[in-house]
A = this chain, B = another copy of it.
């Protein structure tokens, strides 16, 4: 069994933003020399997501508006008890649960086994500091 572990570093200047990390994951798959296996990609932070969807700016704008409706940013300690700890990012912990922590992608013939429009995104909900994504590959 082969394995590869890689950490990607992201610096998002916005509070909420989505970044296409597919090329970085493809590089890791190539470097692993795994032909058949599984590739886990997860946010290493609990106010961020990794998800697969479309690389279409209008859709990303829709997601941001929708997530803001489902879990509004509100630094006050009234709406969110979490913000009584001195944090202001309770909303980000909620948004992350909607969009998910991780994806697992099949590797077939040495490539990410994607459907026609699948792209991997890092979703930041509490940006303006350095964050990391973990890529873990196992297979043969």
Name A residues whose Cβ lies closer than 8 Å to a Cβ of B.
1, 3, 5, 36-38, 40, 42-46, 51-54, 56-59, 61-63, 66, 70-71, 80-85, 90, 93-94, 96-106, 108, 113-118, 132, 134, 136, 138-140
Closest B-chain residue to A43, C-beta based?
B115
CB atoms of B103 and A81 under 8 A apart: no
What is the distance, in angstroms, from A92's C-beta to the closest C-beta of chain B? 11
Number of copies: 3
Q: Is the interface of A mostly helix, strand, loop or mixed?
A: mixed
CB atoms of A106 and B5 under 8 A apart: yes
Interfacial chain B residues near A139, Cβ < 8 Å: 1, 3, 138
Can you name 13 extra interface pairs (CB under 8 A) apart from A61-B81, A62-B80, A62-B82?
A: A1-B1, A5-B36, A5-B113, A40-B104, A44-B115, A53-B96, A54-B93, A62-B81, A66-B71, A106-B134, A113-B134, A115-B132, A138-B138
CB atoms of B45 and A90 under 8 A apart: no
Give CA–CA (A97, B121) in the complex, Å.
Answer: 13
